[in-house]
Amino acid sequence: MKKLISLIVLSLLITFSGTQSTEAAPISSIKTEAFKYLGTPYKYGGNSTSGFDCSAFVQQVFKDIGISLPRDTGSQYQQGKAVSKSNLELGDLVFFNTTGKGVSHVGIYIGDNKMVHSASSKGVSVVSIYDPYYWGSKYIGAKRIAEEAATEVKAASTEVNATRGEVAMVLANKLNLSSSKTTSNFNDVQSNSAYFEAIQAVSEAGIFTGDNNGNFNPSNHLTRAELAKVLVNAFDIKAGSGSYSFTDVSASYWAAPYIQVLAQHNITRGMGDGTFGISDQLTKSQLNMFIERIK
């Protein structure tokens, strides 16, 4: 049975990875969006057009293109993929140490060795990251954010959705879970089902539960919100730093804490339009992508 499960999981993973692809990050308009705020004054702790600090400005511009970022510079530095100074692209976040105590300033790279940022002296303005008088010597690194958001949006475009049985199979294999029970915990899962042992295992581990009628519903699809809870529980992911907002996730929404945890660990960046996609059915490529991002 274990060998059969491994073969099925391998087949599922090949199918999932085969449907996942990447495309150019949705940042072609980021310079235009950022330039809308040119001249806005700097305000310590400010997060509106009456005055931005550096991280609030960056957060606002990315929000304008549908990507959620945490509020403070330190948390923003924990996001995305590190890129070298020689490989910077439009939309990369560039970070600086202006206090001698680590990351303290952030801007958005716009090409030609320049960034747009909210500076305490000039407000939202453009400057060279190689500025010999100040910024050049303060540079400490860069992160690419939009590429991961684009991957998640692209993964959503596939029409192949993951069933509860398939998710149970993948998680049981990933977590090396097994069950020795020969009788089913659920009315609709027979012992000769290919998903039988996996469903038993994830049920016993407390990762999945059935409905009020005692059914597991292995052929039903999961929503992205439901998966958020499943992943946090399955991998015991603890709350991280930073606060994220998605337009379709209210503070009182039942899955809000789980979605927040995934965002804090850079496992999700949302759908590229400011939403998480709480009611969207989970696609197979999204499942594979989320699991790959869990460290």
List, by residue number, the catalytic residues. 54, 105, 117
Token representation of residue 137? 């010597």
Does an H or E element contain 180, and which?
none
Reference 290, options 155, 144, 146; nearest CA is 155
Owner of token pair 């924990």: 78
How far apart CA 78 and CA 221 sit, in angstroms, is 32
φ and ψ at residue 156, rounded to 5 degrees: -75, -15
DSSP percent split of the chain into helix, strand, coil, nearest 5: 35, 15, 50
How far apart CA 164 and CA 285 sit, in angstroms, is 14
Opening angle at CA 101, ends 96 and 103, nearest 5: 30
φ and ψ at residue 143, rounded to 5 degrees: -130, 140
Token representation of residue 199? 């469903």
Do residues 249 and 278 make contact, with C-beta atoms less than 8 angstroms apart? yes
CA-to-CA dists, residue 147 to 28, 39, 83, 278, angstroms:
12, 28, 12, 21
